[in-house]
Chain A
Amino acid sequence: MAGTALHPLVFGFGLLFAASAIEVAATAQSTPLETQVKAAFLPKFAAYVSWPAGAIRAPDDPVLLCIIGQDPFGRNIDETAARQQVDLHPIQVRRLESTAGADHCNIAFLGGSAKQNAAAMEEALRGLPILTVTDANLGTGRGIVHFALQGGRVRFHINDALAARSNLAISARLLSLAISVKPRARAS
């Protein structure tokens, strides 16, 4: 059973932490809790998103999770991704400098860089079947999923309209957790 990141509370008291979270906290003391939570979230999105046919070919093809630009997660993301699996697909983390050569990514965290900020990255990848994820802490760009802090907790906005343009379907379960959802046009 793949480890599940639980209780990534900003004010999390040790008592409430799941084993994995405790582990995360123990192994990455230098990384802030917020970043650890986001690192735990990122591979999980794969389970709630459907890609168009052809994006993932074989049943055991990995789901490609790309960190483009700056990487706030470090080793954390590799660990959580390794524990995560979507059906039979493993999740593979790949770090890229820019959006160039990112068209085969399935999930892309747009960290932004000096050459290309997150907004530009988003714009570059718009329309491709890639779930783009941005962070309010890292530039002005807003991907399909956009991390934000609310009430001291890590949460996210979802732009479902953008997902629709990328031919992605996002599970209603995930939508129900979002702070806000920009709905897709009805007549898709």
Chain B
Amino acid sequence: MKIASIFTRRVLAIFVPLAVLSLLLAGLWVIYQNEQSYRQEQQRAARVQAEILAASVTAALDFGDKAAAQESADALRANPQVQVAGIYDANGNRFVGYTRTQTLLPPRLPEMSGSDETRVRAIAPVIRSGAKIGTVYLAGTVDPLSRRLSRYAMIALLVVMTSLVLAILGYGQVALSRVNRTLAEANRELQFQMEERSRTEEQLREAQKMQALGQLTGGIAHDFNNLLAVIQGSADILQRPGLSEEKRLRFTNAIIDASSRGALLTGQLLAFARRQPLRPEVLDLNHRILTMLVMLQPTLGPNITLKTQLEKMLLPVEVDPGQFEAALLNIIVNARDAMPDGGEITISTRNVTDGKEVERGQAVAVAIQDNGGGIRQDHLKHVFEPFFTTKEVGKGTGLGLSQVYGFAAQSGGEARIDSEVGRGTTLTILLPASDKVPQVAQEKEQLPVAREPSGHVLLVEDNEDVGNLAETLLDELGHTVVRARSGLEALRLADDGARFDIVFSDVVMPGMTGLELAKKLKQRLPELPIILTTGYSDRITAVGSQGFPVLRKPYRMETLAVAVDEALAIQRGHAHFSMGRY
């Protein structure tokens, strides 16, 4: 394109002057040709005039009638171009004639030397009966140069105008291509800047992503630190000698609850990663709240007072209990953070029966009210957005209220927030009421006691700590444990004829995964019950569990006991449970 434009400019630079020049030459040639033909025409006209005069003057010359001859000659005076008209006899002597100019009519017939620049001359013989009896001589002027030139003025004007137009067009073309070049450069610059901008935006997005990730990991670390503080504190107290039974039970429960909350938290993370479907159960929310309060109060610290205003005959709801607890926890943690100097948190429940609140009519409202600093109006509309947080990095994930909102919406209800700066915030979760009856909640699951030395368990776990814990738990439940640190080792043990009734294997392991191991073992021993366990469901989500029961980490002792007992019962032909996930 650039080369083409340069080429075009070069061609134009040569073409335009050339065209103008040839136009001018053509104009001059046309004028010259016109002039020539004009002169020829004049010459011809003069000759014709002379011939006419010669014919008309024959008799007058013949009979020597000067008056008649003069009359004939004078007829030409009407033509202003005829300057000289002379009639000469056969001997070349002047007979009659006239002249307009100062010059005299020559007494003798002048020699014809053709016409010159300013005069047209013509002679014609006077013939009578085939005999020449005299000669007519005419001399005329051609139009003056100025007159002739004015005749060509139109042609000249046309030529000049055309040349001018051509020149202007040529110049315009050159100017246009120059402008085009400038535009192209501007365009390139613009494109470069656009690319630069999109690169910058990409970097900005990356930075925002990293920031979000930082907030998330910081928040998680913060939440886990809280839980770990509870567990560590409780464990420290439990180590002290001479502890009363009541205290020992309390702190043991604290550890168990903190672990449960940790599990909840990871569940929440998985939910955020969209890897955990809701598992709705029919719940009595009052009961759930009270259960949680026991766990919550110690973590809130002494400055925060927790109060409840619970409706007596609260309608049951059908929601995922884990998600509900996570939502409640999220709200309460936010409320606590809003009151760094302490304050009061009130959890209230009530039945909503007027049908205005939720589409299907009856609903249950759970409101958590604090008397903290409140939320600014401009922040209020953003609080449910993921990763929105006013907390500093490491203090919150920005996922909490997003989870609350998602949970409420997914459960067919909604979440609302009312806040006034300086007065406090009320967050309300509305959940549709269920007409089902809640399951009778066991206050405490009976710790399963080893009823009989149940069986031999092949435990496959690459993590030493988790493996030790699992071995301890299984041992406590009365099973005999054979350890394997990898899938290959497990296969080798199986091939070596090690005795076991059941396999309890981790899924994510280096080398062979738990799923692959399970399939291989199934080929060898079709009747062998296999339980898989994992804390990260990515693999399971991707390929499915292939029909193997999966125990989610972290698991409680009783859950493990039930899973193993069920598997053994199936193996022993007493199957009365359907296989499923725990």
State which residues 150-188 of A face B: CB under 8 Å: 155, 171, 173-174, 176-177
Are the C-beta atoms of B65 and A18 separated by less than 8 Å? Answer: no
| A86-B129, A171-B59 known; A5-B64 Cβ under 8 A | yes
Give the interface residue-count category, chain B.
Answer: 20 to 34
Are the C-beta atoms of A18 and B93 separated by less than 8 Å? Answer: yes
Residue of B nearest to A156 (CB): B63
B306 interface residue (CB < 8 Å to A): no
Residue of A nearest to B63 (CB): A177
* A113 CB, nearest partner CB in chain B, Å: 28
Contact partners of B499 in chain A: CB under 8 A:
none
| A19-B91, A176-B68 known; A2-B131 Cβ under 8 A | yes
Interface centre among B65, B129, B130, B132 (most CB of A within 10 A): B129
State which residues 101-157 of B face A: CB under 8 Å: 128-133
Query: Bound state CA distance, A2 and B128, in angstroms?
Result: 11
| A4-B133, A177-B68 known; A18-B59 Cβ under 8 A | no
Q: Which of A40-48, A101-109, A130-138 touches B?
A: A40-48
State which residues 7-39 of A face B: CB under 8 Å: 7-9, 18-19, 37
Are the C-beta atoms of A6 and B64 separated by less than 8 Å? Answer: yes
| A18-B91, A87-B129 known; A173-B65 Cβ under 8 A | no
| A47-B128, A85-B129, A87-B130 known; A1-B60 Cβ under 8 A | no
Do most interface residues of chain B lie in helix, strand or loop, or is the interface mixed?
Answer: mixed
Are the C-beta atoms of A41 and B129 separated by less than 8 Å? Answer: no
Contact partners of A173 in chain B: CB under 8 A:
56, 58-60
Are the C-beta atoms of B131 and A44 separated by less than 8 Å? Answer: no
* A163 CB, nearest partner CB in chain B, Å: 16
Interface centre among B62, B68, B90, B133 (most CB of A within 10 A): B62
User: Residue-by-residue, is B410-448 near A (CB-CB < 8 Å gives 1, otherwise 0)?
Assistant: 000000000000000000000000000000000000000
Contact partners of A2 in chain B: CB under 8 A:
131
Query: Bound state CA distance, A63 and B89, in angstroms?
Result: 25
Query: Bound state CA distance, A177 and B71, in angstroms?
Result: 11
* A166 CB, nearest partner CB in chain B, Å: 20
Contact partners of B90 in chain A: CB under 8 A:
1, 4
Contact partners of B68 in chain A: CB under 8 A:
176-177
* B157 CB, nearest partner CB in chain A, Å: 50
| A1-B90, A4-B90, A18-B91 known; A177-B132 Cβ under 8 A | no
Interface centre among A4, A41, A48, A85 (most CB of B within 10 A): A4
Query: Bound state CA distance, A174 and B129, in angstroms?
Result: 13
Query: Bound state CA distance, A4 and B65, in angstroms?
Result: 13
Contact partners of A44 in chain B: CB under 8 A:
62-63
Are the C-beta atoms of B59 and A48 separated by less than 8 Å? Answer: yes
Contact partners of A1 in chain B: CB under 8 A:
90, 131-132
Contact partners of A46 in chain B: CB under 8 A:
129
Query: Bound state CA distance, A87 and B128, in angstroms?
Result: 9
Contact partners of A177 in chain B: CB under 8 A:
59-60, 63, 65, 68
Query: Bound state CA distance, A7 and B128, in angstroms?
Result: 17
State which residues 32-87 of A face B: CB under 8 Å: 37, 41, 44, 46-48, 85-87
Contact partners of B62 in chain A: CB under 8 A:
4, 44, 47
Query: Bound state CA distance, A41 and B132, in angstroms?
Result: 17
Query: Bound state CA distance, A37 and B91, in angstroms?
Result: 19
Are the C-beta atoms of A41 and B131 separated by less than 8 Å? Answer: no
Residue of B nearest to A45 (CB): B63
Are the C-beta atoms of B60 and A4 separated by less than 8 Å? Answer: no
Query: Bound state CA distance, A18 and B94, in angstroms?
Result: 10
Residue of B nearest to A21 (CB): B64
Are the C-beta atoms of A7 and B64 separated by less than 8 Å? Answer: yes
Query: Bound state CA distance, A174 and B95, in angstroms?
Result: 18
User: Residue-by-residue, is B58-100 near A (CB-CB < 8 Å gives 1, otherwise 0)?
Assistant: 1110111100100000000000000000000111010100000
* B307 CB, nearest partner CB in chain A, Å: 151
Query: Bound state CA distance, A48 and B56, in angstroms?
Result: 13
Contact partners of A7 in chain B: CB under 8 A:
64
* B125 CB, nearest partner CB in chain A, Å: 11
* A31 CB, nearest partner CB in chain B, Å: 17
Query: Bound state CA distance, A41 and B60, in angstroms?
Result: 12
* B429 CB, nearest partner CB in chain A, Å: 137
Residue of B nearest to A171 (CB): B59
Chain B interface (Cβ < 8 Å from any Cβ of A): 56, 58-60, 62-65, 68, 89-91, 93, 95, 128-133
Known A-B contacts: A6-B64, A174-B59, A176-B60. Give 7 more (CB < 8 A).
A1-B132, A2-B131, A4-B62, A9-B64, A18-B93, A44-B62, A177-B68
Q: List 11 A-B contacts (CB under 8 A).
A: A1-B131, A2-B131, A4-B90, A6-B89, A18-B89, A37-B64, A41-B63, A85-B129, A87-B130, A173-B56, A177-B65
Chain A interface (Cβ < 8 Å from any Cβ of B): 1-2, 4-9, 18-19, 37, 41, 44, 46-48, 85-87, 155, 171, 173-174, 176-177
